[in-house]
C-alpha cells in the first residue's frame, strides 16, 4: 500500500486540474457511493474512478491498489452474502437449515456493497497520486481556512511514513535474526509476534520526535511502555 | 575583535539527572573561527551545542547556570526565533531533520517560518544551493538523496537563513568517507569565503584536525583542552587521557621525534607527514 | 562455511543491487566488507542469515541453501549484529534480552540460564544482568545486543557497522571483543567505513562497488592498490597512504599497515637509506 501517500509525476489532464476540484471530486464520489444503493449505479461509479485513473495515465501503478481492494471486497462479499436471507434461494449451505443460504437478492446487495467499498477506498489514492501534497495543503489552508498548524502536522506526518516503515522493517529483521518467528506465513501468529515490537517503534517516535531526545532519553516513557506490554 | 559567542561559567543539569551534563564552561569565540569539539561519549558535547542554539534553556528543562552571549546578548533573554536567526543548526541524523519532500521546499521551510517575502525566498534558495554547490539537487525528492547529500541539504537550509554561526552535532556519523569529506569541504568553503563561524562536534579526529583551527576537548562535562590542532598533536596526552587518539601519521612523527629521529613540526595530515619524513634523516644528524 | 555462487539480488521492481557475486568464506576467517554507501554491503550481509534470499544463484551456509531455510534456523549458525542496538532491544532486563534468542529456539529454563551467563561473561556484562538495558550507555547496549546473539551460539558473526555512533574507546572495546571471539574460532564478517579499523583487525578485505566485487584480497594487498580503491571513492588508512607517496616504498618501507610497523622499519634501518630515491 506504499502507493497511498505517493505522488506520481505525470503530465495529464487530471494532474493539471485544480487541487480543490480533485478534492471535491473525491468527496463527491464518496458521497454518491452512499446515496446509491443499486448494483449498476455503484458499478458505474467504480468504473468512473478507474477511468479517471486511466486518464491520469497511472492505471499501471494503481493496479496493486485495485487488486488489494478487490480481494478485500471479495472477503467482505462472502461474509455479507450469507447474512441476507430475503429473496429467492439459490443455494442452501446446510440442507434443511433456512438460516445459511444464498439468495439472489443477497448476491445483488453484497456485490453492490463490494463496489461501494472499492469506490470509497480508491478515490483518495487517485487524489493523492495526482496532486502534490504541498498544493493540497496550500488549498486547505488558503481556500478552506484550515489552520496552518494542522496542515503542517498533516504534511509532516506523511513525510515520515516511509521513515517509520523502514524503521519497522529493521526492527522486524533484527528480531528475526534472534529466531523470532516473524517470517511465519500465518497472519494470526504474525500479528501476535509483532505486538511486543510495537513499543520499539513508539520509542523510536519518541527519539525522532525531538532533536534532544537522545540526550536526556525518556526512561519514564519507555518504562510505561514496558509495563503495558508486560501486562499483555 | 569582539567575540561573537561568549560563555561564562556555564553549567547545566538535565531535569531528573543528578550530575551536571556540563559544568563551569567559560570560553569565547571570535567571528570567523572554525572550531571542532571532540571527547568521549557522555562528555557533554551535544549539551554544549544545545546551549549555543538556544534549545537549552528555552525547550529543555533543567538547572541552568551561567551565561551564553551571542553578539553580546544573553540567549536567556532572547526569543527563540531571534537565536535561530543568528545560529544555524545541523544535527546528526539527516533523516530526522529534513521535514519536506523536495530539496527546494526543505530550504524554503525555514525562510517561510521567518516570513521572508516569496521573491526573496527564491533568491535565497538559489544562493544557498550555490554556496553549498548542490544546485543540481534543487528539484530532487529528499527521500532519494544519499546521506552526504542529505547533510549538505540540511546545511544549505541552515545557511539560507543567513546565520552568523553554524553549529553541527556529529554531522558525518552516518556517512561514508566520501560523504564525510564532502561535508567538511563545504564547511571549509563557508568558513573561508563567507566568514561563517563554525562549531562542529566530531568523532573522526583525523579529518577534524585537518580542517579546523581550534579544538575543544571535553570530558565529564568540562572543557579540558582548548588548543589549535598543531598544539594538540604535540601533546597527545590531551587526547589519550580521555580515551581518544591523535591521527596515525602524527603519532608516527611524534614517536620518531621522541626517539630523536626527527626534530621539526609535527604533521596533521598525510601530506605534511610526507614532508616531515623527508626531513627525518636531517633531524637525526 | 559460507559459499556464494553467482549471487544476484534485486528488490521487487528494482535494479539489481548485487550482480553475479561468487566467493567463499572459510571457517575462522576475519573479513571486512567495505564500499561506499549504496554499494550493496548491508544487502549482502542480509543474504548470510536469510533475511534476504537470492533472486539468482545460491548462498550456502554450512551446506544449507538459504532459500530452503528460514532466518530463525540460520540464526543458530549466523549471528547478525545490527547497526543500531535499539532495533534489537525491547525487554526490561539484560538477562531477559540475552535469553530471548535461546527461548525462541526452545531451550529449557536451565539451558537458557546457562547460555545467558556464558554470553554475558563473554562481553563483560555480568554485573548488569538485572539492569534495564535502556539505562545503559550506547556502548553497553551494543554489548547487550551482541550477547543476545552469542547466546544462540552461532559459528559466524556478522556485524553491520558495529562502531558507528560510538566514541573511539567504545569502538575499540567492541572490536577487541570480536577479536577474542575470532581467536576462539568464530568466523567474523564486518562492514565499516573506518579504514583504520579495517587495517587493524581484518585479515581479508572484500571491496564492493555498485553490487560487484572490485577486489577480494588480504588487507595488505588491498590497501597497497589505492588506484582500485579510489575508483569507488575509498581511501587507504593514513600509514599506507603516507608510505605510497614515496616512489620506491617497497624496498624502503615494505608495506606497513600500522604506526608500529612503520616505526620499526624506520628506526630499524637507521632512518637513513629510505629517503635516497625520493
How far apart are alpha carbons C224 and C205 in whole angstroms?
12
pLDDT of A60: 81
Q: Are C192 and C162 in contact (CB under 8 A)?
A: yes
Indicate yes or no: CB of A175 within 8 angstroms of CB of C75.
Answer: no
| Statement to judge: residues A36 and A74 lie in one domain | yes
Q: What is the domain-level CATH number for residue B27?
A: 3.40.50.300
- Write the Ramachandran bin of C104: left for phi over 0, alpha for psi from -120 to 50, otherwise beta: alpha
pLDDT of C99: 93
Determine which helix (DSSP H) or strand (DSSP E) holds A15, and give its type and residue range. helix A13-16
Q: How confident is the model at residue A220 (pLDDT cuts 50, 70, 90)?
A: very low
Residues of C in contact with B281 (CB under 8 A): 271-272, 275
State which of A27-36, A161-170, B141-150 shows the largest mean pLDDT.
Answer: A27-36
- The percent of residues above 70 in pLDDT, for chain B, comes to 98
| Statement to judge: residues A207 and A223 lie in one domain | yes
Interface mutation target, options C78, C81, C87, chain A, most CBs of A under 10 Å: C87
Q: How confident is the model at residue B65 (pLDDT cuts 50, 70, 90)?
A: very high
Per-residue model confidence as pLDDT tens digits over A87-130: 777 777 776 666 677 888 888 888 998 899 889 888 888 888 88
- The answer to whether residue A162 sits within a structural domain is yes
Which residue of chain A comes nearest to B16, CA vs CA? A216
pLDDT of A229: 37
| Statement to judge: residues B271 and B226 lie in one domain | no
Place of cell 562536534: B201
Residues of A in contact with C101 (CB under 8 A): 178-179
Interface mutation target, options B101, B154, B170, chain A, most CBs of A under 10 Å: B101
Interface mutation target, options C11, C50, C134, chain A, most CBs of A under 10 Å: C134
Q: Is B99 on the interface with C (CB under 8 A)?
A: no
Q: Is B178 on the interface with C (CB under 8 A)?
A: yes
Q: How confident is the model at residue B25 (pLDDT cuts 50, 70, 90)?
A: very high
Indicate yes or no: CB of C90 within 8 angstroms of CB of A179.
Answer: no
| Statement to judge: residues B9 and B107 lie in one domain | yes
> Residues B24-49: what's their mean pLDDT?
95
State which of B81-90, B134-143, B219-228 shows the largest mean pLDDT.
Answer: B219-228
Q: Which of residues 70-109 of A touch C (CB under 8 A)?
A: none
Per the structure block, which three cell numbers stand in for C269?
634501518
User: CA quadruple B75, B77, B80, B84: dihedral positive or negative?
Assistant: negative
Of the partner residues C169, C245, C275, the one whose CB lies closest to the CB of residue B281 = C275
pLDDT of A3: 44
pLDDT of A99: 64
Q: Are B106 and B99 in contact (CB under 8 A)?
A: yes
CA atoms within 13 A on the CB side of C19: 10
Boundary of a domain, candidates A63, A98, A131 = A131
| Statement to judge: residues A143 and A215 lie in one domain | yes
- The answer to whether residue A10 sits within a structural domain is no
| Statement to judge: residues A120 and A144 lie in one domain | no
Largest Cα–Cα distance in chain C? 69
Domain limits for position B279: 247-285
- Name the 3-class secondary structure at B22: strand
| pLDDT > 90? residue C66 | yes
| Statement to judge: residues A49 and A119 lie in one domain | yes
Q: Which of residues 149-178 of B touch A (CB under 8 A)?
A: none
| Statement to judge: residues A85 and A44 lie in one domain | yes
pLDDT of C254: 87
Which residue of chain C comes nearest to A226, CA vs CA? C92
| pLDDT > 50? residue A225 | no
- At CA A164, angle to CA A159 and CA A168, rounded to 5? 160
Interface mutation target, options B45, B246, B248, chain C, most CBs of C under 10 Å: B248
How far apart are alpha carbons A112 and A80 in whole angstroms?
11
Boundary of a domain, candidates A96, A115, A131 = A131
Domain limits for position A213: 137-229
| pLDDT > 70? residue A192 | no
| Statement to judge: residues B170 and B284 lie in one domain | no
Predicted complex ipTM: 0.87
Q: Greater confidence, A151 or B272?
A: B272
| Statement to judge: residues B231 and B260 lie in one domain | no
Q: Which residues pair with B38 in a beta bridge?
A: B217
How far apart are alpha carbons C94 and C100 in whole angstroms?
10
Of the partner residues C165, C238, C246, the one whose CB lies closest to the CB of residue B173 = C165
Q: Is A219 on the interface with C (CB under 8 A)?
A: yes
| Statement to judge: residues B29 and B47 lie in one domain | yes
Residues of C in contact with B256 (CB under 8 A): 263, 266-267, 271
How far apart are alpha carbons C191 and C60 in whole angstroms?
20
| Statement to judge: residues B257 and B131 lie in one domain | no
Q: Are B143 and C4 in contact (CB under 8 A)?
A: no
How far apart are alpha carbons B218 and C77 in whole angstroms?
42
Per-residue model confidence as pLDDT tens digits over B91-134: 888 777 888 878 998 999 888 888 889 889 999 999 999 988 89
Least confident of A98-112, B153-167, B174-188: A98-112
Place of cell 539527516: B94
Per the structure block, which three cell numbers stand in for A171?
526492527
How many separate domains does chain B show? Answer: 2
| Statement to judge: residues B136 and B222 lie in one domain | yes
Q: Which residues pair with C79 in a beta bridge?
A: C157
- The answer to whether residue A5 sits within a structural domain is no
| Statement to judge: residues A23 and A127 lie in one domain | yes
| Statement to judge: residues B44 and B145 lie in one domain | yes
Q: How confident is the model at residue A183 (pLDDT cuts 50, 70, 90)?
A: low
Compute the nearest-CA separation of C219 from chain B (Å): 17
Q: Is A57 on the interface with C (CB under 8 A)?
A: no
- Name the 3-class secondary structure at A30: helix
Boundary of a domain, candidates A88, A112, A131 = A131
Q: Which residues pair with B25 in a beta bridge?
A: B10
Q: Greater confidence, A195 or B29?
A: B29
Indicate yes or no: CB of C170 within 8 angstroms of CB of B41.
Answer: yes
pLDDT of B174: 83
| Statement to judge: residues B279 and B231 lie in one domain | no
| Statement to judge: residues A29 and A56 lie in one domain | yes
> Residues C152-178: what's their mean pLDDT?
92
How many separate domains does chain A show? Answer: 2
| Statement to judge: residues B107 and B208 lie in one domain | yes
> Residues C40-51: what's their mean pLDDT?
93
- The answer to whether residue A153 sits within a structural domain is yes
| Statement to judge: residues A100 and A179 lie in one domain | no
Chains B and C: how many Cβ contacts under 8 Å? 96
Residues of B in contact with A163 (CB under 8 A): 95
Least confident of A52-66, B123-137, C212-226: A52-66
- The answer to whether residue A96 sits within a structural domain is yes
Chains A and B: how many Cβ contacts under 8 Å? 33
Q: Are A211 and B91 in contact (CB under 8 A)?
A: yes
Cα-flanking dihedrals φ and ψ of residue C5, to 5°?
Answer: -125, 120
Of the partner residues B39, B177, B206, the one whose CB lies closest to the CB of residue C193 = B177
- The answer to whether residue A11 sits within a structural domain is no
- The percent of residues above 70 in pLDDT, for chain C, comes to 96
| pLDDT > 90? residue B63 | yes
Q: Which of residues 216-275 of B touch C (CB under 8 A)?
A: 243-245, 247-249, 251-252, 255-256, 259, 261, 270-271, 273-274
| Statement to judge: residues A165 and A124 lie in one domain | no
Q: Is A163 on the interface with C (CB under 8 A)?
A: no
| Statement to judge: residues B228 and B256 lie in one domain | no
Per-residue model confidence as pLDDT tens digits over A134-182: 788 788 888 888 887 887 787 777 777 777 888 888 888 888 888 876 5
Indicate yes or no: CB of C101 within 8 angstroms of CB of A171.
Answer: no
**Strands C187-191 and C2-10, sheet pairing:** unpaired
- The answer to whether residue A2 sits within a structural domain is no
Rg (CA), chain B: 20
| pLDDT > 90? residue A209 | no
pLDDT of C208: 95
List the subunits that have 3+ CB pairs under 8 angstroms with C. A, B
Q: How confident is the model at residue A13 (pLDDT cuts 50, 70, 90)?
A: confident
- Name the 3-class secondary structure at C32: strand
| Statement to judge: residues A205 and A169 lie in one domain | yes
| Statement to judge: residues A109 and A145 lie in one domain | no
| Statement to judge: residues B109 and B90 lie in one domain | yes
pLDDT of B146: 83
Q: Is A212 on the interface with B (CB under 8 A)?
A: yes
Least confident of A221-225, B25-29, C260-264: A221-225
Of the partner residues A170, A177, A217, the one whose CB lies closest to the CB of residue C75 = A177
CA atoms within 13 A on the CB side of A184: 14
List the subunits that have 3+ CB pairs under 8 angstroms with A. B, C
List the subunits that have 3+ CB pairs under 8 angstroms with B. A, C
Amino acid at each position: 500500500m506504499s502507493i497511498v501517500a505517493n505522488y506520481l509525476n505525470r503530465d495529464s489532464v487530471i494532474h493539471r486540474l485544480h487541487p480543490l476540484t480533485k478534492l471535491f471530486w473525491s468527496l463527491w464520489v464518496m458521497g454518491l457511493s452512499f446515496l446509491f444503493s443499486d448494483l449498476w449505479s455503484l458499478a458505474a461509479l467504480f468504473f468512473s474512478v478507474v477511468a479517471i485513473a486511466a486518464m491520469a495515465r497511472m492505471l499501471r501503478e494503481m493496479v496493486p491498489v485495485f487488486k488489494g481492494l478487490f480481494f478485500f471486497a471479495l472477503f467482505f462479499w462472502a461474509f455479507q452474502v450469507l447474512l441476507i436471507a430475503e429473496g429467492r434461494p439459490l443455494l442452501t449451505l446446510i440442507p434443511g437449515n433456512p438460516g445459511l443460504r444464498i439468495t439472489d437478492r443477497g448476491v445483488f446487495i453484497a456485490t453492490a456493497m463490494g463496489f461501494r467499498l472499492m469506490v470509497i477506498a480508491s478515490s483518495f489514492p487517485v487524489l493523492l497520486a495526482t496532486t502534490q501534497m504541498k498544493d493540497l495543503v496550500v488549498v486547505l489552508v488558503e481556500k478552506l481556512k484550515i489552520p496552518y498548524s494542522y496542515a503542517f502536522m498533516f504534511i509532516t506526518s506523511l513525510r515520515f511514513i516511509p521513515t517509520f516503515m523502514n524503521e519497522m522493517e529493521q526492527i522486524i529483521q533484527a528480531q528475526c535474526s534472534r529466531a523470532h518467528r516473524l517470517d511465519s506465513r500465518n497472519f494470526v501468529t504474525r500479528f501476535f509476534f509483532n505486538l511486543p515490537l510495537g513499543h520499539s517503534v513508539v520509542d523510536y517516535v519518541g527519539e525522532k520526535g525531538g532533536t534532544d531526545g537522545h540526550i536526556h532519553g525518556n526512561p519514564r516513557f519507555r518504562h510505561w511502555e514496558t509495563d503495558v506490554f508486560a501486562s499483555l | 575583535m569582539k567575540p561573537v559567542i561568549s560563555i561564562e561559567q556555564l553549567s547545566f543539569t538535565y531535569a531528573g539527572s543528578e550530575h551536571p551534563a556540563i559544568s563551569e564552561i567559560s570560553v569565547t569565540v571570535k567571528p570567523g573561527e572554525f572550531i571542532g569539539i571532540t571527547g568521549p561519549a557522555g562528555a557533554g558535547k551535544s549539551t554544549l551545542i544545545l546551549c549555543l542554539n538556544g534549545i537549552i534553556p528555552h525547550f529543555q528543562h533543567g538547572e541552568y547556570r551561567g551565561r551564553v552571549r551571542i553578539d553580546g546578548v544573553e540567549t536567556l533573554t532572547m526569543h527563540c526565533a531571534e537565536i535561530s536567526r543568528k545560529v544555524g543548526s545541523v544535527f546528526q541524523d539527516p533523516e530526522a531533520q529534513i521535514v519536506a519532500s523536495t530539496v527546494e521546499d526543505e530550504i524554503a521551510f525555514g525562510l517561510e517560518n521567518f516570513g521572508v517575502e516569496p521573491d526573496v525566498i527564491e533568491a535565497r534558495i538559489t544562493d544557498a544551493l550555490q554556496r553549498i554547490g548542490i544546485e543540481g539537487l534543487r528539484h530532487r525528492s529528499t527521500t532519494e538523496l544519499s546521506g552526504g547529500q542529505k547533510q549538505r541539504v540540511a546545511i544549505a537550509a541552515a545557511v539560507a537563513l543567513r546565520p552568523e554561526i553554524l553549529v553541527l552535532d556529529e554531522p558525518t556519523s552516518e556517512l561514508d568517507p566520501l560523504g564525510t569529506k564532502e561535508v567538511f569541504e563545504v564547511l571549509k568553503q563557508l568558513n573561508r569565503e563567507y566568514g561563517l563561524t563554525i562549531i562542529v562536534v566530531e568523532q573522526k579526529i583525523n579529518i577534524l584536525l585537518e580542517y579546523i583551527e581550534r579544538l575543544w576537548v571535553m570530558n565529564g562535562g568540562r572543557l579540558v583542552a582548548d588548543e589549535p590542532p598543531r598544539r594538540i598533536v604535540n601533546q597527545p596526552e590531551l587526547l589519550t587521557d580521555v580515551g581518544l587518539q591523535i591521527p596515525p601519521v602524527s603519532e608516527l612523527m611524534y614517536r620518531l621525534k621522541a626517539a630523536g629521529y626527527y626534530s621539526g613540526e609535527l604533521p596533521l595530515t598525510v601530506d605534511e607527514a610526507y614532508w616531515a619524513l623527508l626531513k627525518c634523516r636531517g633531524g637525526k644528524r | 562455511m559460507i559459499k556464494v555462487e553467482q549471487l544476484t539480488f534485486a528488490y521487487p521492481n528494482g535494479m539489481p543491487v548485487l550482480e553475479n557475486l561468487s566467493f567463499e568464506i572459510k571457517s575462522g576467517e576475519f573479513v571486512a566488507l567495505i564500499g561506499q554507501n549504496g554499494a550493496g554491503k548491508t544487502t549482502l550481509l542480509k543474504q548470510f542469515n536469510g533475511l534476504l534470499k537470492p533472486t539468482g544463484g545460491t548462498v550456502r551456509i554450512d551446506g544449507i541453501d538459504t532459500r530452503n531455510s528460514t532466518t530463525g534456523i540460520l540464526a543458530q549458525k549466523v549471528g547478525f549484529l545490527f547497526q543500531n542496538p535499539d532495533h534489537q532491544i525491547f525487554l526490561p532486563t539484560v538477562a531477559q534480552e540475552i535469553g530471548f534468542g535461546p527461548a525462541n529456539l526452545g531451550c529449557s529454563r536451565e539451558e537458557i540460564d546457562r547460555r545467558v551467563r556464558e554470553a554475558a561473561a563473554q562481553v563483560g556484562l555480568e554485573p548488569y544482568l538485572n539492569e534495564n538495558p535502556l539505562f545503559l550507555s550506547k556502548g553497553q547496549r551494543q554489548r547487550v545486543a551482541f550477547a543476545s546473539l552469542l547466546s544462540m551460539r552461532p559459528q559466524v558473526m556478522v556485524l553491520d557497522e558495529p562502531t558507528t555512533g560510538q566514541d573511539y574507546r567504545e569502538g575499540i572495546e567492541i572490536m577487541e571483543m570480536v577479536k577474542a571471539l575470532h581467536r576462539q574460532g568464530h568466523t567474523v564478517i564486518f562492514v565499516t567505513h573506518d579504514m583504520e579499523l579495517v587495517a587493524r583487525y581484518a585479515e581479508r578485505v572484500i571491496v564492493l562497488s555498485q553490487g560487484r566485487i572490485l577486489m577480494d584480497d588480504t588487507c595488505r594487498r588491498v590497501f597497497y592498490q589505492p588506484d582500485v580503491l579510489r575508483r569507488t571513492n575509498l581511501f587507504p588508512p593514513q600509514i599506507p597512504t603516507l608510505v605510497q607517496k614515496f616512489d620506491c616504498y617497497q624496498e624502503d618501507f615494505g608495506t606497513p599497515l600500522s604506526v608500529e610497523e612503520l616505526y620499526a622499519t624506520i628506526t630499524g634501518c637507521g632512518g637513513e637509506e629510505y629517503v635516497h630515491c625520493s
